[in-house]
Amino acid sequence: MKSSRYGIVLYLDSEMPYPDLLLAVKGKFEASAHFFDHAEMTVEFVGRTFTKEEEIQVVETIEEAAKVRILCIIDKDGSTEKLHKRVLDESRKELHAKDGMFYKGTLRGRQILESESSIVIIGDIEEGATVVSKGNVVVTGTVYGTVIAGAGGNYEAVIAALHMSPGRLKIGDIRLKPVIGGSYSWARLL
């Protein structure tokens, strides 16, 4: 087992009989259940291919043993991986459409986080990182990067942070520009 960008990569023995493999997967995930803490994730299988039925059975075994939710299976085939990523993104939209979402961790340079709803970021947004939300954006740390709230034209959206020293802030098509003294004024983009 190894973590990946979207979830976990599971390295499997291609020679092990399927029933034994299923028991081994169950044991591994039961032993690690405390680590996953009811996470939502993707899974990628390496070293072995499954029939659709076997794949479903392995995913159900992982979900039950580790108390997680597998949103999709990542495939290294580029076109399939894009499809799975789209399914993952759509699944997340459905899960968080009503309540918004939380992101735990610091967004580093070049990382982009997009949300169809409001988002609370428990961490910082570093220079070069971007957050785009159709709802509100609340940051429990410092904003150095770019934050766009109300991306769908919601001018009532709010951007809030413990500290702000952003590269760029926008609500709808309105850009906040810093003025002398560190406060912000509104300026409509042309």
Strand 2-3 relative to strand 7-11, pairing: antiparallel
Provide the CA 66 distance to its chain's centre, in angstroms.
19
In degrees, rounded to 5, the angle at the alpha carbon of residue 116 between the alpha carbons of residues 115 and 120 is 45
Contacts of 189 (CB under 8 A, 6+ apart): 170, 173, 174, 175
**Global pTM value:** 0.47
Q: Which domains does the chain have, with CATH numbers?
A: 2-96 (3.30.70), 101-188 (2.160.20.70)
d(CA 163, CA 75) in angstroms, rounded, equals 40
Structure tokens belonging to residue 8: 């976990």
Say if residues 119 and 107 touch (Cβ distance below 8 Å).
no
| pLDDT number for residue 187 | 47
| Predicted pLDDT at 114 | 92
Walk along the chain (190 residues) and give the pLDDT tens digit of each residue: 887 766 788 899 989 999 999 999 999 999 888 887 778 888 888 888 888 889 889 999 999 998 888 877 776 655 555 655 665 666 556 555 555 788 888 999 889 999 888 899 989 999 999 999 999 999 988 999 999 999 988 888 889 888 888 988 999 888 876 655 555 544 444 4
Specify the residue for token string 């009503």.
98
Q: Are 58 and 25 in contact (CB under 8 A)?
A: yes
Residue 189 pLDDT? 45
Query: What pLDDT does 145 receive?
Result: 94
Residue 170 CA to residue 178 CA, distance in Å, equals 12
Amino acid identity at 172: G
Say how far apart CA 170 and CA 149 lie, in whole Å.
6
